[in-house]
Structure formats: C-alpha cells, structure tokens
C-alpha cells in the first residue's frame, strides 16, 4: 500500500479579535481567571455574514497553493464540523462549489473536536488503497453561533476558524506512521449540544478528567504502534482546548515547551479546526520541518478521541 501524508496546509481565522477584557463586559469573569485556568488570552469571532463554509474555503485555497495543486486535482473533500451552514447541503458540498473542484466527491464528518483526526484517517484509507490521489481534509467551525454568551463556564472557551490539509501519497518512511481512533458514548452527557436551546453544554470537571487521561495515553499508544520513542518526537500538536490538558500530554511525552503548539492563547478552542490550524501555523513558521516526527492528538464530544504519529514531508 502507498504511504499517505501531508502535501499542503492552510488556515484561516476571522479578523475580529475578542479579548478576555471584552469577555469581562459580557459575563462575570476576569482575564486572570481565564488565562490561569485555560491559557486563553483572546479568540477570533466571525461576523454574521461569514459562515463555516466561507472559512473552510479560505483555508482550502491556501492548502491547495501550498500543495501546488488546482481545485480540479482534488478527488475527495472531507469536512470535519459540528457547525455546518445548514444540515444540508454539506459544508463539503459548499466548499467544493466555491473552489470549482469539479472532479471531487464531498462530505461532512461529525466527531466534534476530534473530527479532524477522524477525517485525516478516513482520507488516508483512500490514498493508501490507491483509489484517490488528493484528498482535501478540512476542520472548520463557527462555534460562536452555538455558544451561550451568558454562560461564563463555556463562552470564555470558544472561537471560530478553519484549517485545511491536502492528504496524498508520499515517499517511503514519510507520512502517517500510526493512528488511534476511539469513542466512549457513556460520556456523551458531559459535552453536547442541547436540543432545547442549541447551545454547547459541558461538565467541565468530567471532560477535564477524561482529557488529561486520554490525550497522553493516545499519544503514547501511537508512538508505540509506530515503533518510536518519546525522544524521537520533534513536535506535539494537541487539541487546543485548555493549556492544562495540553500540558498533561506534553509532560507525559517529556517534550520541551517550545516543541508544543499553543495557539489556544490566541484563538481559544475552535473544535475540529484547532489541530489543522496549529499544524498550518507551525509549518509556516518553520517549527515543523521536513522529516520531523509529529504527534497530533485530540479529544471531543461523543466522547471521541484520535491520535496520529507522522513523519512530515513528501
């Protein structure tokens, strides 16, 4: 089977910056409380005129440019999201139309904050078995439209944005080396979208307990499956939900602080898009280089989780 890896990356975040000081004007909270408990200093919020597919499109354009591909080169578009423009057509359909990706199939995938990991591994199957050559995988969210801006326990956490990657065949020894996907529906009641008001509801204590156990465990698991040691990891991209959860994974892998993505400070939790945004940023700024071993790990509502060990480059 062919190796599947990353051919191109791109990301997009809205221009509007909403700081913790702005948050103080909405709910009973303060900058110090938010920063010390979550690591978040600000987040980006889309305007009413911008929806999930618009952000997904912007990120996709950059990923295609980075991969040196045209829209018609794409065989499949997979969008991970829990905030589609509407139930149907899918965000994938809308992005396909905006791109002019006339040769592609397209679909959405829902696994909450672990959605991008599910999308990436789904794409890899098509590449590895030779059915497709170029799969566009996008994580895109407009969480601001399902956030209760009167609930200080949740509204301080979330933001909007999109990240995209082109997955395709890469040379021997490069690309996805191992992965893990999982779900525990018994924890669904701890993180969900309410049927009553359509807002995100979360039992923060229970989600925290799950995440600080699962993220480090999954990271170690994919390294073992790939026959790698902790010392061989060059960069860690955990789901950008909470700096304390991220630190649990970093410390378990014994990785220096400067080898872990921390975009949570500037963007907050953007659900399925946090990992591809962080991946794109750190490729762009040179922290992730050719031949680097990178661990991606996420968790989300469901409860779901996913992790990948990969060697970056083509």
Q: Is residue 37 exposed (0-12), middle (13-18) or buried (19+ Cβ within 10 Å)?
A: middle
Catalytic residue among 11, 66, 190, 239: 239
Contacts of 94 (CB under 8 A, 6+ apart): 53, 56, 57, 85
Q: 313: how many CB neighbours lie within 10 A of its CB? A: 17
Q: What is the 3-state secondary structure (H, E, C) of 7-19?
A: EEEEEECCCCEEE
Helix residue ranges, H only, 39-194: 52-67, 91-99, 115-128, 152-155
Query: Annotated catalytic, 113?
Result: yes
- What size, in residues, is the chain? 314
Separation between Cα atoms, residue 295 and residue 309, nearest integer Å: 5
Catalytic residue among 3, 66, 113, 282: 113
114, 306 Cβ separation under 8 angstroms: yes
Catalytic residue among 20, 93, 134, 269: 269
Separation between Cα atoms, residue 162 and residue 253, nearest integer Å: 27
Query: Annotated catalytic, 269?
Result: yes
Query: Annotated catalytic, 198?
Result: no
Which pairing describes strands 293-300 and 235-238: parallel, antiparallel, or unpaired?
parallel
Residues forming beta bridges with residue 118, ordered by sequence position:
none
59, 163 Cβ separation under 8 angstroms: yes
- Which residues does the annotation mark as catalytic? 113, 239, 269
């Amino acid at each position: 089977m062919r190796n599947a890896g990353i051919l191109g990356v791109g990301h997009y975040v809205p221009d509007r910056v909403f700081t913790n000081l702005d948050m103080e004007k909405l709910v009973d909270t303060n900058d110090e409380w938010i920063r010390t408990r979550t690591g978040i200093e600000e987040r980006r919020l889309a305007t009413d005129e911008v929806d999930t597919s618009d952000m997904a499109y912007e990120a996709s354009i950059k990923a295609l440019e980075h991969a040196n591909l045209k829209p018609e080169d794409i065989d499949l578009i997979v969008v991970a999201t829990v905030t589609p423009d509407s139930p149907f057509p899918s965000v994938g359909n809308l992005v396909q139309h905006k791109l002019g990706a006339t040769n592609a199939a397209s679909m959405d995938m829902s696994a909450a904050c672990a959605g991008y990991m599910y999308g990436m591994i789904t794409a890899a199957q098509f590449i590895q078995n030779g059915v497709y050559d170029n799969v566009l995988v996008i994580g895109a969210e407009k969480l601001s439209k399902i956030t209760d801006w009167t609930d200080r326990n949740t509204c301080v956490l979330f933001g909007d944005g999109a990240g995209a990657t082109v997955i395709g065949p890469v040379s021997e020894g490069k690309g996805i080396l191992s992965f893990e996907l999982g779900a525990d529906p018994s924890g669904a009641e701890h993180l969900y979208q309410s049927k009553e008001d359509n807002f995100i509801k979360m039992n923060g204590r229970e989600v925290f307990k799950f995440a600080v156990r699962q993220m480090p465990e999954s990271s170690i698991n994919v390294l073992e499956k790939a026959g790698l040691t902790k010392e061989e990891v060059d960069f860690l991209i955990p789901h950008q939900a909470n700096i304390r959860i991220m630190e649990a994974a970093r410390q378990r892998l014994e990785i220096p602080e400067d080898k872990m993505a921390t975009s949570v400070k500037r963007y907050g939790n953007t659900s399925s898009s946090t990992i591809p945004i962080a991946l794109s940023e750190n490729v762009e700024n040179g922290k992730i280089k050719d031949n680097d071993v990178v661990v991606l790990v996420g968790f989300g509502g469901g409860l779901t989780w996913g992790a990948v060990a990969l060697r970056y480059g083509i």
